[in-house]
Amino acid sequence: MPSPQPTPDDLFTCLRCGDCCRGYGGTFVSRADMEAIAAFIHADPRTFAAHYCRRSGGKSVLAQRADGYCIFWDRVCTIHPVKPRMCRRWPFIESILVDPANWLAMAGSCPGMRTGIPLREVRACVATVLASEGPDEDR
């Protein structure tokens, strides 16, 4: 009998270390993310991107401080209720469906992600999570 598919809790527990809020190519933000964050911090949505974002690979990402941390990191995520979709979904993101080996690459920087589980099972779990969340609201 095949083993049951792992659950999200089997694959990931956030340790709140903040490592994912530093470095990388930046945290992608959609227009919807920017509008939500601007409202949350009472910033002018027309100038939000100029003050809090930068461009990377043709996309808007959250700006980082000189120490490499996200501009909204201060020992905790200061915009937690409206943090970008990419942060909310981590590590159950589309790139795992494209190539499940991305799970291992991401786990190298995120101590909350479990390895040692067959990647086809990881991919199936990620697919289930994404399907349960409905259509992508990015725009």
Residues that bind ligand SF4 (CB under 6 A): 14-21, 27, 62, 70, 72-73, 77, 79, 83-84, 87, 90, 110-112
Q: Which C-beta is closer to ligand SF4: that of 77 or that of 130?
A: 77
Q: Which C-beta is closer to ligand SF4: that of 5 or that of 109?
A: 109
70-80 burial string, b = 16+ CB within 10 Å, else e? Answer: bbbbeeebebe
Q: How far is the CB of 80 from ligand SF4 (least distance, A)?
A: 7
Is residue 18 left, alpha or beta, with left meaning phi > 0 and alpha meaning psi from -120 to 50?
left
Q: Which C-beta is closer to ligand SF4: that of 14 or that of 41?
A: 14
Judge contact between 107 and 113, C-beta under 8 A.
yes
Q: How far is the CB of 63 from ligand SF4 (least distance, A)?
A: 10
Q: Which C-beta is closer to ligand SF4: that of 107 or that of 123?
A: 107
Q: How far is the CB of 20 from ligand SF4 (least distance, A)?
A: 3
Q: How far is the CB of 99 from ligand SF4 (least distance, A)?
A: 20
Contacts of 15 (CB under 8 A, 6+ apart): 111, 112
Token pair belonging to 52: 């809090």
One-letter amino acid of 116: G
Token pair belonging to 35: 């509008």
